[in-house]
Amino acid sequence: MTIRDTITMKPRYFLTILLFVSHSCWCTNREYRGYKGGIWTVMNILVMNCGSSSLKFQLIDAETESVKAKGLCERIGIDGSRIVYRPANKEKVIEEAPMPTHAAAINIALKYLTDEIHGVISDLSEIDAVGHRVAQGAEKFSKAVLIDDAVIKAIDENSELAPLHNPANLTGIQVCRALMPDVPMAAVFDTAFHQTMPQKAYLYGIPFHYYTDYKVRRYGFHGTSHSYVSKRTAQILGKAPEELKTIVCHLGNGSSVCAVKGGKSVDTSMGFTPISGLVMGTRCGDVDPEIIEYIAEKEGITTHDVMDILNRKSGIYGLTDGIVDFRDLRAGAASGDEQCMRALEIFNYHVTTRIGAYAAAMNGVDAIAFTAGIGENAPTIRKAVCENLTYLGIELDDAKNDANEPDSVITTPESKVKVLIVPTNEELMIARETAEVVME
Ligand code: AMP
């Protein structure tokens, strides 16, 4: 019997009522399961990352920081939706299941987590807190917060700044709240870490009232990743974050660079939206705004159409014959394909020049950390990026760079600036911030 069969067979509301009653009891006493006498002994945190057509989730044991189970629901609201579910120490499960809505996907995810065979908890009452990734917190949120009606309203109001992301994040929150009404939930914002940027870094050279009237400014994204990686970098180097000037290069499907001074973000390459900064898989990165109207006129299309092209058909995809995956790009470049070589050179160049800019912004740099799919796995890209940074005092150790070891320093002991590979862990960071918020 599949999870889907179970869902359709069992009266769902009975479980919800049962949960409501049991949670009401422990919440009013503040004697959470595992929270006795002011000390946490057990805490299962469910991390939810709800995208427009996908849901990523992880159940994390806050005490050991281990992942009990994780999963991905794909193609929500589209034909061919499926769940890939990976419980720790058990068989991976892939099931094609109709997921017409996010509610259906979340129900399936929760059913897997509590399933007799595949599950890792016996029922939903073992979930102590839920942490939701939210894309845009704008100036309202400079840290994670406990979700209440006012927070939901604010996330909704921020949807106009992130129309592709915030509504999906909000749906995830609302569905989880309906299913687990008394479980404390936190919103962890992609933008929050960058709220420490000074005005000189976040204001654009446009009429000032666009900022005051319409909130047009640089927000930056990938904040959870930049925060995690900069802290982990300090830990690996045996320093306090306050002592370091670090540049984090989050290079993945979306890419951004962040200057972190004394543990705080002081500048980052993504801006008002995640389209700007580096050349990415399908996004153009920084372009002259005149290009938009010019192309629209030349092609006889609207500026809206051009924006769509700049978001979905540009970057590496646009520079090549539709390549998005950097593994294919590297393979193409290695085999001498000119388009691939050119696109890769452009990507690397933009990362290098951004690092140079941020070294200038901080008047120096102690460490450069590479993270995310490309940053963690592509030695040739790290080497090419660092090639023109010898003036900063970087001496790459080729053997260490090629070894691709997670959490490793890949420069020589003499290198003035340390370069590291630091795998990002946004889910763990969300779980940590959720635990903090819930315990406040
Ligand atoms: P992420 O968004 O962090 O999941 O990163 C996804 C990106 O990492 C994709 O473009 C992948 O092609 C890229 N990636 C994964 N492994 C490698 C690799 N060995 N070399 C180059 N790129 C990689």
pLDDT digits (tens, 9 = 90+) for 44-70: 999 999 988 999 999 999 989 999 999
What's the CA gap between 380 and 332, in Å, rounded? 13
Residue 421 Cα to ligand 1 middle (Å): 14
Nearest to 251 by CA among 165, 150, 305, 327: 327
Nearest CA to ligand 1 atom 15: 373
Looking at residue 42, what is its pLDDT? 55
Dihedral over alpha carbons 286, 291, 296, 299 (to 10 degrees): -100
Residue 377 Cα to ligand 1 middle (Å): 7
Tokens of 421: 């590979």
Query: Is residue 163 over pLDDT 90?
Result: no
pLDDT digits (tens, 9 = 90+) for 372-404: 999 999 999 999 999 999 999 999 999 999 999
What's the CA gap between 142 and 379, in Å, rounded? 34
Looking at residue 439, what is its pLDDT? 85
Looking at residue 29, what is its pLDDT? 36
Looking at residue 436, what is its pLDDT? 92
Ligand 1 pocket by Cβ (under 6 Å)? 252-253, 281, 325-327, 330, 372-374, 377-378
Give one DSSP letter per residue of 290-337, joined into a string.
HHHHHHHHHHT--HHHHHHHHHHS-HHHHHTTS---HHHHHHHHHTT-
Best residue for ligand 1 mutational test, from 256, 320, 327 (most atoms within 8 Å of Cβ): 327
Query: Is residue 83 over pLDDT 50?
Result: yes
The pLDDT > 70 percentage for the chain reads 90
Tokens of 240: 């306090």
Residue 252 Cα to ligand 1 middle (Å): 6
> Looking at 30-177, which runs of residues are DSSP E strands?
35-36, 39-40, 44-50, 55-61, 66-74, 82-87, 93-96, 129-134, 145-146
Residue 112 Cα to ligand 1 middle (Å): 28
Buried b (16+ CB within 10 A) or exposed e, 222-233: bbbbbbbbbbbb
Query: Is residue 164 over pLDDT 70?
Result: yes
Residue 326 Cα to ligand 1 middle (Å): 6
Mean pLDDT of 265-269: 98
What's the CA gap between 31 and 25, in Å, rounded? 9
Radius of gyration of the chain (CA): 23
Mean pLDDT of 349-375: 98
CA angle 73, 79, 83 (to 5 degrees): 20
Buried b (16+ CB within 10 A) or exposed e, 20-35: eeebeebeeeeebbbb
Looking at residue 253, what is its pLDDT? 87
User: What is the band of 228 on the pLDDT scale with cuts at 50, 70, 90?
Assistant: very high
Best residue for ligand 1 mutational test, from 279, 320, 326, 329 (most atoms within 8 Å of Cβ): 326
CB 263 within 8 A of CB 241: yes
Nearest CA to ligand 1 atom 4: 373
**Interacting residues of 416 by C-beta distance below 8 A, sequence separation 6+:** 392, 393, 394
Nearest to 272 by CA among 194, 172, 186, 188: 194
What's the CA gap between 80 and 127, in Å, rounded? 29
Query: Is residue 341 over pLDDT 90?
Result: yes
Looking at residue 390, what is its pLDDT? 96
Ligand 1: nearest atom to the Cα of 326: 12
Looking at residue 17, what is its pLDDT? 34
Looking at residue 16, what is its pLDDT? 35
Mean pLDDT of 78-92: 95
Ligand 1: nearest atom to the Cα of 378: 20
Residues with catalytic roles: 190
Query: Is residue 128 over pLDDT 50?
Result: yes
pTM given for the model: 0.89
